[in-house]
Copies of this chain bind each other. A is one copy, B any other.
Amino acid sequence: MTTLAVSHPALQELLDQLGPVAVLAGDAVPVRNHNDYSGLPPTTPLAVVRPADTAGVATALRICHAHGIGVVPQGGLTGLCGGARAGENEIALSLERLVGIEEIDTAAATMTVAAGTPLETVQQAALAAGFFCPLDLGARGSCAIGGNLSTNAGGNRVIRYGMAREMVLGVEAVLADGTVVNCLNKMIKNNAGFDLKHLFIGSEGTLGVITRIVLRMFPKAGSSVVAMCACEDYAAVLRLLGAARSGLGPLLSAFEVMWPDYWNRAVGELRARNPFAGDDTPYGAYVLIEALGTDPESDLPRFESWMENLLEEGVVPNAVVAQSLAEEQALWGVRDACGELHQTWPGHLAFDIGLPQTAMDDYARACKAELAEKVPGLESVFYGHIGDGNVHIVAYRAGDKVQPKDDVEEVVYGLVQKFGGTVSAEHGIGTIKRRWLGHARSPEQIALMRTLKNAMDPKGILNPGKVL
């Protein structure tokens, strides 16, 4: 522990109240708490405080509030926007000891869970109880469910189950001054006054620290069907989306679109298995469709007959329907190859934006054209959860040790504003996207966000400098 750290009266108080296991200061701050996945330079916070329960979180916040010290909540530290990175004069409030499934209520189909619990633990507990937790993302093994809520995480199955927000019935949160607000509601319907949980979901720890959560659980799917479709152009993708909505109804669980730039890289350099190998038609777009049903015997033949109609009608010129789990995984493999883009494009730039479905292809064309003009030599690929209006862009310029981040951001976010989209679909704002918030939100919206922030955290100690 450094002299600076011991000398801080707040640290002494935290130590006295929470004990040495819960307070790591100075040199004792673990390296993992220096950063999240944002790629920003690491910083060493004044201390890491890691309470074992809600009362400990309340104590920590009460002390920090009294001393006016900034507090940065930390979960699995897998965020991409710098939202969990603590400055050197701030306390990192880690929820790593607030873990565990507290209750599973099979009648209500709910799970009550501590905020620091890894998402994968939540998923497994749901399965063990005969239910399904549809929230899923690549970082499942290390991200914390509390962090998933504070950033309102998305993922592949939003088209059917919604964002993390939609899976939450209740939260317990601690306010800036240490007040515990228990909204651990288990009922789907509860209109007794304002629904306060929405303040804490998606606000990245700037309005309160989520400590416990009541999640909805869903029935396990009895069957899955996965298909890959080739489309002539983006207009055909929209026709296919309409056909999938009406033909598959509530079974539709993923509608993932890949533009040719992404597709060619995935089945080329990244060696994903090409389901259309031998078909050299230059298609305009590729769509992965997943349907989760209840009947393993009849769901596949029903899906196939639906797909045959689309082939006959010419909506889809070529399609492959997986006949086994291995084939399903191979089709998902093309979509998941994005996780390997860093292999050939180390240090690439990645963007998570939202756009109205009708504007997506126009956006992609305009973006490609402007990038070619303003950032010569840049390569880029486009893919995303189009059923939800979410596009990911990954860009890279070979030979640049430092990628041309600012130039690419100017183009990507500049056009987002022009096409009525959003600068963050599912990754949040953190510090990295803060300067672009005005491209997605009006001055009146941002002013109202500040009104809330000032009302709930007048001293500004909760995750300072994040979002706003």
Contact = CB atoms under 8 A, between A and B. Distances in A.
A152 B195 contact: yes
Interface string A244-276: 011111110000000000000000000000000
A402 interface: no
Nearest to A222: B249
Interface string A345-367: 00000000011111000000000
B191 A357 contact: no
A371 interface: no
Interface string A184-210: 011111111111101101110001000
A422 B385 contact: no
Contacts of A247: 294
Interface stretch (A23-31, A67-75, A174-182, A311-319): A174-182
Nearest to A180: B444
A10 interface: no
Contacts of A388: 187-189
Contacts of A222: 246, 249
A468 interface: yes
Contact of A424 (B192, B199, B207): B192
Interface stretch (A91-99, A333-341, A450-458): A450-458
Contacts of A198: 195, 198-199
Interface in A140-180: 151-152, 154, 158-160, 162-163, 165-166, 175, 179-180
B455 A187 contact: no
A457 to B, nearest CB: 11
A189 B249 contact: no
A158 B190 CA distance: 12
A404 interface: no
A419 B255 CA distance: 42
A183 interface: yes
Interface stretch (A41-49, A113-121, A225-233, A435-443): A435-443
B163 A166 contact: no
Contacts of A302: 295, 298
A21 interface: no
Contacts of A191: 151-152, 154, 163, 202, 422, 424-429
Q: Interface extent on A, as a size class?
A: 35 or more
Contact of A422 (B163, B192, B249): B192
Contacts of A194: 199, 202-203, 207, 449, 452, 467
A181 B444 contact: yes
A56 interface: no
Nearest to A161: B250
Nearest to A109: B245
A449 B179 CA distance: 14
A214 B301 CA distance: 36
Interface stretch (A100-108, A277-285, A374-382): A100-108
B105 A187 contact: no
A445 interface: yes
Contact of A451 (B427, B449, B456): B456
Contacts of A180: 444
19 contacts: A105-B357, A106-B242, A107-B357, A108-B358, A162-B166, A182-B442, A187-B356, A189-B389, A191-B424, A192-B429, A193-B437, A198-B198, A199-B448, A219-B245, A219-B250, A249-B293, A250-B292, A251-B294, A452-B452
- Closest 10 A-B residue pairs measured CB to CB? A455-B455, A198-B198, A250-B250, A192-B440, A187-B389, A189-B425, A249-B294, A107-B357, A188-B388, A187-B354
